[in-house]
């Protein structure tokens, strides 16, 4: 039996368990740092499967690592399992129907599948190591709170990933591919202004408006946009406007900023300039300004060596094998959950991605049944992920499989609704098989791990500067 057959058999033998873990996580729908039922579930099933499990890593009760095997290479898999607020949805329905329980949250990013898919990979790796003792070690890392943006960042900062030679992860999507684009580094910061209240008509000269300060800061930052790199992004939202009475000079305000750029050092440079703007706004208004770093993420650096191994494994495993019922449900999702304008927009995007001829096939059966070729083109995803911090401390590769209908938006009730369907289960199991086969390829060719580590060192010079200072821990109560 070759390694591909071993992996397929190992995953299929444990298929019911893997799907059960995914579906229970779907039902728990716990948001970041509150994934207590989910983490307990993983602890129990991993111990039952013979892994050594350590809970409560990097100050996070719902973070864990599960280890099997011994020696080098050490292959890590990154699991996520946090849900999103306000995305409760019954699975498999093409209309908006929240669940019957009181939990308003749901898996609108498919992390129930993500965690279970990496669990599948770890189980298949264990099956290989049982037949090949001493060939290496597999570690499944339970990484909380990706959506809030801190889990892996804190784990990387605190050395939880030390000793891992190569890491793999994946993400639910609407296409099958190895991800070769980087992500944007990011910091999340609260700026607070303290002023002096007074009667806005009778004694305006006595007041110092914290709301004026926040507004002047936003004006200043909007002018700053012209003088930062074009790939950078600055977003903000008012969290506190100082009250609702127009005749009171506002004594307090708070504005929440995201600052993104292709590289962490670029974010830090822009961050300093935003602080300068905030200080200027405080001086102009006679208010006091404080700021609080809430979260930070590094950019994702796809490792070429490891990505090549993962591409080879994904092509050997093949795209998910959907059935006619899956295509029927996908057709309903594609056409019944969108306006005519949205449908045309999705069709245009599919034509651009696949070409006109293939697109016509997908309009009838809108599930991706192909695997995209590996292509490093220097692209940058518009979003951010704490996988970036993992990629700075260990060579990391990332794939996606089509757990959802083409054109399904992330962080939507439609994505949640896919989360416990056969479409999602099949794609999740495909991801687990590909991740495991890639890990085995590294175990049998340890020189690949060394080449991947050299590539990482050449890229970073061995330097990782965590965007979150040591004194800031996980925000467990938010």
Indicate the number of domains in the chain.
2
355-385: per-residue pLDDT in tens? 999 999 999 999 999 999 999 988 898 889 9
Domain with residue 211: its CATH number is: 3.30.70.360
Query: Domain boundary at 238, 265, 297, which?
Result: 297
Would you state the pLDDT for residue 176? 99
Q: Do 170 and 248 have their domain in common?
A: no
Q: What is the pLDDT of residue 74?
A: 99
Please compute the mean of the pLDDT values over residues 95-120 and round it to a whole number. Answer: 97
The residue ranges of DSSP E strands in 121-176, in sequence order, are: 136-142, 166-173
CA gap 71, 165 in Å, rounded: 11
Query: Dihedral of the CA atoms 124, 127, 129, 132 (nearest 10)?
Result: -130
Q: How far apart are CA 33 and CA 51, in angstroms?
A: 23
Query: Do residues 170 and 207 share a domain?
Result: no
Q: Does residue 352 sit within a domain?
A: yes
pLDDT of residue 81: 99
Q: Are residues 353 and 454 in the same domain?
A: yes
Q: Read off φ and ψ for residue 167, nearest 5 degrees.
A: -125, 150
Maximal CA-CA distance, the chain: 87
Q: Are residues 447 and 433 in the same domain?
A: yes
Q: Are residues 119 and 259 in the same domain?
A: no
Token reading at 223: 């002018």
Q: Is residue 467 part of a domain?
A: no
Query: Is the pLDDT reported for residue 477 higher than 80?
Result: yes
> Based on the domain organization, do 356 and 251 belong to the same domain?
no
Residues 323-346: pLDDT tens digits?
Answer: 999 999 999 999 999 999 999 999
Mean pLDDT of 66-79: 99
What CATH number is attached to the domain comprising 27? 3.40.630.10
Instruction: Report the pLDDT value the prediction gives residue 225, as an integer from 0 to 100.
Output: 97
Q: Give a yes or no: residue 204 inside a domain.
A: yes
Share of the chain above pLDDT 70, in %: 100
> What is d(CA 83, CA 29) in angstroms, rounded to the nearest whole number?
5
118 and 189 share a domain? no
- What integer pLDDT is reported at residue 378 of this predicted model? 86
Q: Give 215's pLDDT tier (boundaries 50, 70, 90).
A: very high
pLDDT at position 148 is 83
Which residue, 282, 297, 312, sits at the end of a domain?
297
d(CA 34, CA 23): 18
Closest CA to 190 of 295, 91, 288: 295
**Degrees to nearest 5, angle at CA 396 with 392 and 398:** 130
Query: SS3 for 320?
Result: coil
- Indicate whether 285 pLDDT > 90: yes
**177 and 194 co-located in one domain:** no
Residue 476 covered by a domain: no
Does a structural domain hold residue 382?
yes
Task: For residue 474, tell me if it sits in a domain.
Answer: no
What is the mean predicted confidence (pLDDT) over 445-473?
97
Would you place residue 137 in the very low, low, confident or very high pLDDT band (cuts 50, 70, 90)?
A: very high
Which of residues 269 and 101 earns the better pLDDT score? 269
Select from 246, 268, 297 the last residue of a domain: 297
Report the distance separating Cα 208 and Cα 294, nearest Å.
Answer: 26
In a domain, 116, yes or no: yes
The whole domain housing 14 covers 3-182+299-460
Q: Which residue has the tokens 């060192």?
A: 457
Q: Are residues 211 and 178 in the same domain?
A: no
Query: Could you tell me the pTM of the whole model?
Result: 0.95
Same domain, 59 and 88: yes
pLDDT tens digits, residue range 20-35? 999 999 999 999 999 9
Are both 414 and 347 inside the same structural domain?
A: yes
Q: Report the chain's mean pLDDT, rounded to a whole number.
A: 97
Place of tokens 């990484």: 143
CA atoms within 13 A on the CB side of 284: 15
Kindly state whether residues 165 and 191 are assigned to the same domain.
no
- Classify residue 477: in a domain, yes or no: no
- Report how far residue 280's alpha carbon sits from residue 250's, in angstroms, rounded to the nearest whole number: 18
Q: What is the pLDDT of residue 277?
A: 99
What DSSP element (H or E) covers 357? Answer: helix 356-364
């Amino acid at each position: 039996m070759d390694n591909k057959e071993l992996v397929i058999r190992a995953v299929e033998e444990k298929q019911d368990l893997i799907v059960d873990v995914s579906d229970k996580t779907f039902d728990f729908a716990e948001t970041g740092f509150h994934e207590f039922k989910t983490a307990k579930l993983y602890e129990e099933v991993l111990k039952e499967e013979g892994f050594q499990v350590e809970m409560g890593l990097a100050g996070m009760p719902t973070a864990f690592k599960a280890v099997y095997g011994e020696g080098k290479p050490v292959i890590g898999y990154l699991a996520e399992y946090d849900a999103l607020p306000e995305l409760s949805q019954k699975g498999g329905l093409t209309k908006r129907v929240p669940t019957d329980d009181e939990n308003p949250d749901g898996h609108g990013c498919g992390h129930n599948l993500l965690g279970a898919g990496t669990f599948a990979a770890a189980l298949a790796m264990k099956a290989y190591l049982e037949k090949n003792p001493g060939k290496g070690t597999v570690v499944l890392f339970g990484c909380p709170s990706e959506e809030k943006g801190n889990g892996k960042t804190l784990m990387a900062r605190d050395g939880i990933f030390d000793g891992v030679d190569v890491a793999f992860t994946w993400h639910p999507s609407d296409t099958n591919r190895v991800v070769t684009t980087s992500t944007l580094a990011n910091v999340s910061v609260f700026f607070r202004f303290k002023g002096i209240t007074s009667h806005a008509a009778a004694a305006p000269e006595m007041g110092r408006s914290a709301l004026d300060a926040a507004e002047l800061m936003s004006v200043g930052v909007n002018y700053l946009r012209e003088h930062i790199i074009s790939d950078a992004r600055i977003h903000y939202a008012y969290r506190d406007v100082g009250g609702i009475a127009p005749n009171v000079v506002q004594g307090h305000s708070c504005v929440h900023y995201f600052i993104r750029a292709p590289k962490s050092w670029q974010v830090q440079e822009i961050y300093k300039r935003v602080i300068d703007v905030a200080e200027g706004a405080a001086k102009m208004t006679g208010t006091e300004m404080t700021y609080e770093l809430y979260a930070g993420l590094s950019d994702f650096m796809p490792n070429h060596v490891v990505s090549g191994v993962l591409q080879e494994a994904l092509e050997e495993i093949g795209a998910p094998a959907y059935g006619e019922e899956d295509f029927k449900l996908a057709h309903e999702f594609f056409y019944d959950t969108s306006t005519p304008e949205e449908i045309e927009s999705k069709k245009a995007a599919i034509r651009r991605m696949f070409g006109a001829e293939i697109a016509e096939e997908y309009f009838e059966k809108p599930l991706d049944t192909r695997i995209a070729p590996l292509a490093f083109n220097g692209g940058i995803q518009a979003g951010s992920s704490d996988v970036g911090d993992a990629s700075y401390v260990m060579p990391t590769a990332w794939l996606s499989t089509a757990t959802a209908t083409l054109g399904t938006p992330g962080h939507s009730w439609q994505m949640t609704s896919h989360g416990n369907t056969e479409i999602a289960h099949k794609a999740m199991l495909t991801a687990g098989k590909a991740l495991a086969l890639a890990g085995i390829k590294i175990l049998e060719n340890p020189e690949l791990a060394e080449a991947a580590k050299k590539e990482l060192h050449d890229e970073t010079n061995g330097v990782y500067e965590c965007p979150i200072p040591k004194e800031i821990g996980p925000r467990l109560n938010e």
